[in-house]
Amino acid sequence: MPKTNFKAIISKIIVFYSVFYVVMKLIAILFEDAWAFPNLILALPFLVFAIVGGFLMKKDHFSWIYVIVGIIVISMIRYYEAKWVIDLHEYFS
C-alpha cells in the first residue's frame, strides 16, 4: 500500500483555495461593484495562506500547524463572512 502524504495534499488544497478566493474577491470588487474594504480585509488571511503555502510548496516542506490553522481560519471566515462583510462595511461607512 503506497504511503500518502496528507500534509502535502491538504496544504496544496489550502494554497489553491486561498489563491482562488483572493482572485474571486478581486473580480467581485472590480467587476461586480462589491464593497472594496470589507472584501479586501477578509481576503487578507487567504493572501497570507497563499504566500506562506507557496513558500512551503517551493521548499517541499509541509507543516501540520499550517494545515490545522488553515482549516480553522478558512472555516471560520467562510462561516461568518456574510455578517462580517456587512459589519465592516457599516464600520467604514
Q: What is the pLDDT of residues 12-49, one digit of tens each?
A: 999 999 999 999 999 999 998 888 999 999 999 999 99
Q: What is the pLDDT of residues 47-75, one digit of tens each?
A: 999 999 999 999 988 899 999 999 999 99
C-alpha cell at 16: 489553491
CA distances (Å), 73 to each of 13, 19, 58, 62, in order?
14, 15, 23, 17
Are 67 and 11 in contact by the 8 Å Cβ rule? The answer is: yes
Confidence of residue 79 (pLDDT cuts 50, 70, 90): very high
Q: Position of cell 482549516? A: 71
Q: What is the pLDDT of residue 3?
A: 64
Q: What is the pLDDT of residue 80?
A: 96
CA dihedral 24, 19, 67, 3 (to 10 degrees): 120
Are 23 and 40 in contact by the 8 Å Cβ rule? The answer is: no
Is the confidence at residue 2, as pLDDT, over 80? no
Q: Which amino acid is at 26?
A: L
**Which pTM does this prediction carry?**
0.88
